[in-house]
Structure 1
Amino acid sequence: MKKWVVGTAIAATINTLLGLPGALAQTVNLGVVKSPDNQADWSDITSRLQSTGVNYCVIDLSQVDQLSNLENTQLLFLPNIERLEPEHLATVQEWMRQGGRIIVSGPAGIVSQPEVRNRLRSLLGAYWGFGLSTPSKLERLSVSSPRWIPNAGLVEELQGGVVIPASLEAQTAAVWNQPENPPAVVTTDQSIFFGWRWGVDGEAAAQTDVVWLQAALSRYNITPTPGKMPNSSPPNCVKSQSLAATPVPVISRDPKRQDNLSASNPTPVPSEGDRLVLPAQTPGNNRGILTPNEVTAMSRELEHLMGRVESTLLTANAHNSEVGLLTQESIESLEGVSVKEAEHETQRNSHPNRTTVSALAQARIGLQNFLGAVEQQDYTAARQQWINARRLLWDNYPMDRQLAQPEIRAIWLDRGTIVKAKTKQDLVKLFDQLAKAGFNTVFFETVNASYPIYPSQVAPEQNPLVRGWDPLEAAVDLAHERGMELHAWVWIFAAANQRHNALLNQPPDYPGPVLSAHPDWAIFDKRGRLFDPNTRKAFFDPANPEVRDYLMALLEEIANRYDVDGIQLDYIRYPFQDPRVNQTYGYGVAARQQFKEWTGVDPIEVYPSSRQLWQQWTDFRIRQVDSFVASVSARLREQRPDLILSAAVFALPLGERQQRLQQNWEEWALQGYIDLVVPMTYALDTEGLHSLAQPLLTESTLNEALLIPGIRLLNLPDVVAVDQIQLLRDLPAGGYAVFAVENLNDNLHRIFQQTQGQPESTSTEPIPYRQPFPVAMTRFAALQREWNFLVTNEQIAIHQDAFTEWVAQTEKLNQALNQLAMEPSQQHWQNAKAALAAFRSQFPQWMQQQGIRHPYQVQVWDNRLATIERLLNYGGRTTLPENSSDAIKR
């Protein structure tokens, strides 16, 4: 190790000032990192460290910013540190590259920036998946547990979480004694990941923590002395600032980086695949004051999280209880049931999630403590209270029982995952997993950058990476065998991709097989560039009749040659543009000619400063996309009336979207050109998703279309993915879409199987876009069970007069929805619409008292009624024989 002792006299002076013994000044066995995340538990952590009998020093997290600060330690221990900044990780990464070893515990790095989480996952070879709902014992693996695993630590029960291996080098060293034995301790050559918060009373017994740390130290040839109590005031590992020879360098953050954008900043530049992601809303630092806006945002985030956890718990309890629908008969059957019996029923039904009830109560206290600390201007304590409350809720999220209602559960099956499969048999396991996880719709990447995944007679070349077999044909068969729908996901106007060229060993500027044969089919920017330098893609000219004919023939081939259930239009737009800096696209041969014939001006000469002409140029391009969608809809539905058409679209505000993308998807929904709108509402946290999805789902002009917002799994902790899905279930959405299969890990498969998977591998649950009326009936029945569950357990506040009317109207609406589902007709549809409208108009008055106590839950119920209304509107347009010329129930 490098020594920072220059001479005997200087060394003596430094050692005296720092309180270090001479040998320790050169090297220390263990460096333990302290941060605001573990400060509240530091006393217990210190006590356990002393019982371990190891010489150690303390490193303040703020000092982990240059390599020399770690060079006096052999091993780092990060107990329960949830946030690391980029400069911290960069230092640790370089230190480990030079041979350093690390131990982490608890949800390490879980609230860090996405880039940090992703790099930390690679560095440790594992990541924190989710907290277990109940305490559990550790178990050795029957064969492959390392020798250093202690025996003593396998006896006591711990309140821990699942650690997900994330690399081929990672090995599971111990598992939890639970179904499927999820990993509890994961190791690599340089890291050990404990799946519990080390040194926290209530998580694990002190002796359990001690023996596990002693075992981990022995693995790295550090031999503690059991029972030895080191100095109760351990030294600092790092020199004080006054003795530092040079200032500590600070790694600046680039304000242009997407991770550091705030919600108030302009929309970030397109990320990989042109899929925008809203940055995390959580304040990005752990130091300094909290502004009033930050306090408001943090309070709102915590309140909403509590609401979602409570909503999930109620749905799970009602779904898995024996209560029936809320009717006058069910209410009368409760007469004579004592309060004590009702309380017993509550405990019996909620037993699996008793810890969730406790966590909710503690989180509410944590919120008050957060606000109290802010009032006292103790911002460090405030942040810690907030982090602890959120962590508690995440760790106790109900994920162990069925709770999903009929909904669209879609997932994009990406080209990379398809390419990895070499035969139909290779896809079997994948489709088995998706079916067991409850997905009912697969968006199968069928055309990517002009390469079809199947052997086409229209396109010039099949994707070379799948030659020799037909993945689309195999996927259709496998999906249908499992009761799932298979929708062909097609890139429309994106014609070439430089990233894909690299995979195919093509030159970077290769325009793809179609544009190579037809260079006049392309569009360019004002500088004459074919490829967008940001997204590295080239596009077809939507105004070119030959392009439109080619794409139409390709879509017809897919629809008529394969038994696909739907087609999804992706890249149904122009490239990203910024007219403010003269970065615009659309200047193809056909487009320029047509626009000049219309206006007398070549669009290459038109600039935003000429407002009228510029708007004409924008409107011209919008019409090209709109008219193509209309043509596709008319042509394909004439040939395949049962085909479901969807579009993957951006959630940018309409005006901005038209200027930057020329994508006018609201018109497609209003005109009925598409059945499903799939906005790519990708966000790094749940509040960000809410801000993107909620305005779309509550837009009254879109209430005849089904909207299923998208969630991107990349860089999302598993519990946040679950939380985002729950948010969409609490909003008036007909379901959700997950991007993509390549990011779907085993842990999420297990969670989905428990919460939304079907008992049988073949799903019989109705899908909203196929059977909107039966889904509306079933979803209202689920609401009735929730209400009856609360009534049965005396957990709903409502005046007696309102209660009687509410129950009567509930029965009336239930009958109207049942009649419509069983016998669809114009008259039954109108009756159901009228009954729902009357019910919704009175619902706020009925729930006035309950809304004071549980405002979030009452809002959720109203949102679910809005979902039922949307289903009725959609069904009235698409499935009623009176409204369909072909009289086919799509």
Structure 2
Amino acid sequence: MGRLSRRAFALATLTTLTTASGSASAAQAAPARHSRAVRETRGVWIASVANRDWPSRSGLTAKEQKAELIGHLDRAVADRLNTVILQVRPTADALWPSPYEPWSQYLTGTQGKAPGWDPLGTAVREAHRRGLELHAWFNPYRISNQADPAGLVASHPARQHPEWVVPYGGKLYYNPGLPEVRAFVQDAILDAVAKYPVDAVHFDDYFYPYPVAGQTFDDDAAYDEYGGGFATRADWRRDNIDKLVLETAARIKQIRPATRFGISPFGVWRNVATDPLGSNTGAGVQSYDDNYADTRKWVQEGWIDYLVPQLYWNIGLAVADYAKLVPWWADVARGSRTKLYLGEALYKAGDPAQPAAWQDPAELSRHLTLAKEHPEVCGHVFFAAREVASDPIGAMARVVADHYQQPAKTSR
């Protein structure tokens, strides 16, 4: 997925989507509390990387893949969500017929093999038919979750341009410091924008990869060539990511003006001990310093249409308290054209490896109650579709019963 806290999750078989879950029954049983029209974003991520959410495994038939996808869309409707964020470029590949990159291995099990249907085209059409927005989610720089370029299909751009590639942490990445890489990544993404009426382009938290102890991201040659005007390598790296964001935003508007651009970064920009402007947290990762993503600036400058910081921590957690991060982000977003939504860790609910707060089905509902105190918060997005479908301890059912009794228009 590209979220730091998601790396430890175990892959599991997708719960049968045609079985009614507690979230749907609770929503249907609870009486409506008001009839006033609601406007807020209620989203769910559908991750395709490593078959996390969909398809449940590679090699399903086209009919089976489509049925699973439709099941996720129908579940979103049943839970009165209005936005689906579908991962369509998980590892420098494609879930649509792309002239730039190969078909994703997560469809057929073989990179470059056509699945026999158009997943993105179908997703856009079927989501819109159900009144859902479809946001196309792209990972910009991750090439592969293994480190051997020979594991890529022979025609892969990373094999055609090995000078673009940086091995790091047992994976392969495109080098964000190369202008030709930045242009190629945008071309590959914008092909989908040109072909399909997606409601938004969505990036997650992977820009420069998260730090791996004892390893160095080797961009020396690129820094020597392009970094001369910067005081530090860190400043140069942040400028590379700023350029990606600004250029992508401008090109989206040129191609499809109604399509928005949103980003879901790691939930801590900087800790207050690092920077007095930072949040009252002690997180081990800071997006500004570790991903070279100046997420606070993007909001304050209004460079993007929406931001969804991943606030994947419980209320009261000492190093990253949800109740402290929400007002901090609300303050950042105040007066900005950039909408603020909050990323919610549904996947932690009921996980015995998580703190005790996550064993309480009401924890997520309390998040939404707290966020209502801050008018800058325009919605929530839940990670992820597998847990929306299975809802093991009824946390999603509780959210629906407490907060989603009425359908909602998106906050755009």
**TM-score with structure 1 setting the length:** 0.36
User: Per-residue deviation at 1:508?
Assistant: 9.6
Equivalent AA in structure 2 for residue 715 of structure 1: K
Q: 3-state DSSP class of the match of 1:444? A: strand
Pairing of 1:78-97 with structure 2 (within 5 A): none
Query: Is 2:318 the counterpart of 1:670?
Result: no
Q: Deviations over 1:15-45 (max 9, x none)?
A: xxxxxxxxxxxxxxxxxxxxxxxxxxxxxxx
Work out which of the residue numbers 237, 257, 272 in structure 2 matches 1:621: 237
Which residue matches 2:278? none
Partners of 1:741 and 1:698 in 2: how far apart? 30
User: Per-residue deviation at 1:516?
Assistant: 2.6
Pairing of 1:113-262 with structure 2 (within 5 A): none
Q: Is the 8 A contact 1:412 1:737 kept in 2?
A: yes
Structure 1: gaps (5+ residues): 1-113, 123-165, 169-175, 183-315, 322-401, 502-506, 524-529, 600-612, 770-890
Q: 3-state DSSP class of the match of 1:452? A: coil
User: Per-residue deviation at 1:548?
Assistant: 1.6
Q: 3-state DSSP class of the match of 1:547? A: helix
When residues 493 and 181 of structure 1 are mapped into structure 2, their CA distance, relative to the original with a 3 A threshold, is closer
Q: Comparing 411-420 with 734-743, which one deviates more in the overlay?
A: 411-420
User: Per-residue deviation at 1:652?
Assistant: 2.3
User: Per-residue deviation at 1:425?
Assistant: 3.4
Which residue matches 1:409? 42
Q: 3-state DSSP class of the match of 1:768? A: coil
Q: Comparing 455-464 with 538-547, which one deviates more in the overlay?
A: 455-464
Which residue matches 1:419? 55
Work out which of the residue numbers 379, 392, 409 in structure 2 matches 1:735: 379
Pairing of 1:168-567 with structure 2 (within 5 A): 320=33, 405-415=38-48, 416=51, 417-420=53-56, 422-463=64-105, 465-466=107-108, 467-498=115-146, 510=151, 513-523=156-166, 530-532=167-169, 536-567=170-201
Equivalent AA in structure 2 for residue 691 of structure 1: K
Equivalent AA in structure 2 for residue 722 of structure 1: S
User: Per-residue deviation at 1:708?
Assistant: 0.9
Q: Deviations over 1:33-69 (max 9, x none)?
A: xxxxxxxxxxxxxxxxxxxxxxxxxxxxxxxxxxxxx
After TM superposition, where is structure 1 displaced by more than 6 Å over at least 4 residues in a row? none
Which residue matches 2:19? none
Partners of 1:564 and 1:636 in 2: how far apart? 11
Query: Is 2:214 the counterpart of 1:570?
Result: no
Q: 3-state DSSP class of the match of 2:39? A: coil
Partners of 2:144 and 2:36 in 1: how far apart? 42
Q: Is the 8 A contact 2:123 2:134 kept in 1?
A: yes
When residues 481 and 537 of structure 1 are mapped into structure 2, their CA distance, relative to the original with a 3 A threshold, is same
Q: Is the 8 A contact 1:541 1:588 kept in 2?
A: no
Q: 3-state DSSP class of the match of 2:250? A: helix
Equivalent AA in structure 2 for residue 664 of structure 1: D
Which residue matches 1:852? none
Between Structure 1 and Structure 2, the one with more helix by share is: 1
Partners of 2:370 and 2:348 in 1: how far apart? 18
User: Per-residue deviation at 1:558?
Assistant: 0.9
Q: Deviations over 1:662-712 (max 9, x none)?
A: 111222223332110111111144652222332111236664321112111
Equivalent AA in structure 2 for residue 485 of structure 1: E
Partners of 2:316 and 2:37 in 1: how far apart? 19
Q: Is the 8 A contact 1:708 1:736 kept in 2?
A: yes
Q: Is the 8 A contact 1:404 1:755 kept in 2?
A: no
Equivalent AA in structure 2 for residue 531 of structure 1: Y
Instruction: Give aligned pairs, total.
Output: 347
Which residue matches 2:224? 592
Q: 3-state DSSP class of the match of 1:642? A: coil
Partners of 1:516 and 1:593 in 2: how far apart? 22
Higher RCO (CA < 8 A, seq sep 6+): 2
Partners of 2:145 and 2:117 in 1: how far apart? 23
User: Per-residue deviation at 1:473?
Assistant: 1.4
Equivalent AA in structure 1 for residue 54 of structure 2: I
Q: Deviations over 1:281-321 (max 9, x none)?
A: xxxxxxxxxxxxxxxxxxxxxxxxxxxxxxxxxxx99x726
C-alpha RMSD over aligned residues: 3.6
Q: Is the 8 A contact 1:644 1:675 kept in 2?
A: yes
Equivalent AA in structure 2 for residue 594 of structure 1: Y
Equivalent AA in structure 2 for residue 457 of structure 1: P
When residues 719 and 537 of structure 1 are mapped into structure 2, their CA distance, relative to the original with a 3 A threshold, is farther
Partners of 1:167 and 1:441 in 2: how far apart? 21
Q: Deviations over 1:748-801 (max 9, x none)?
A: 554455445567xxx5x43212xxxxxxxxxxxxxxxxxxxxxxxxxxxxxxxx
User: Per-residue deviation at 1:739?
Assistant: 0.7
User: Per-residue deviation at 1:446?
Assistant: 0.7
Q: Deviations over 1:445-488 (max 9, x none)?
A: 11001121222121134335242222211111121111110000
**TM-score with structure 2 setting the length:** 0.73
When residues 692 and 757 of structure 1 are mapped into structure 2, their CA distance, relative to the original with a 3 A threshold, is closer
Partners of 2:26 and 2:329 in 1: how far apart? 41
Q: Is the 8 A contact 1:633 1:673 kept in 2?
A: yes
Q: 3-state DSSP class of the match of 2:135? A: strand
Q: Is the 8 A contact 2:302 2:336 kept in 1?
A: no
Pairing of 1:629-644 with structure 2 (within 5 A): 629-644=245-260
Q: Is the 8 A contact 1:541 1:591 kept in 2?
A: no
Work out which of the residue numbers 689, 699, 703 in structure 1 matches 2:332: 699
Equivalent AA in structure 1 for residue 192 of structure 2: I
Pairing of 1:65-84 with structure 2 (within 5 A): none
Q: Is the 8 A contact 2:39 2:409 kept in 1?
A: yes
Partners of 1:653 and 1:752 in 2: how far apart? 27
Equivalent AA in structure 2 for residue 442 of structure 1: V
Q: Is the 8 A contact 1:729 1:735 kept in 2?
A: no
User: Per-residue deviation at 1:635?
Assistant: 1.1
User: Per-residue deviation at 1:623?
Assistant: 0.8
The alignment-based identity, stated in percent, is 23
Query: Is 2:296 the counterpart of 1:660?
Result: no
- Higher-Rg structure is 1
When residues 569 and 588 of structure 1 are mapped into structure 2, their CA distance, relative to the original with a 3 A threshold, is farther
Q: 3-state DSSP class of the match of 2:186? A: helix
Partners of 1:455 and 1:700 in 2: how far apart? 37
Q: Is the 8 A contact 1:515 1:522 kept in 2?
A: yes
Partners of 1:482 and 1:755 in 2: how far apart? 23
Q: Is the 8 A contact 2:223 2:233 kept in 1?
A: no
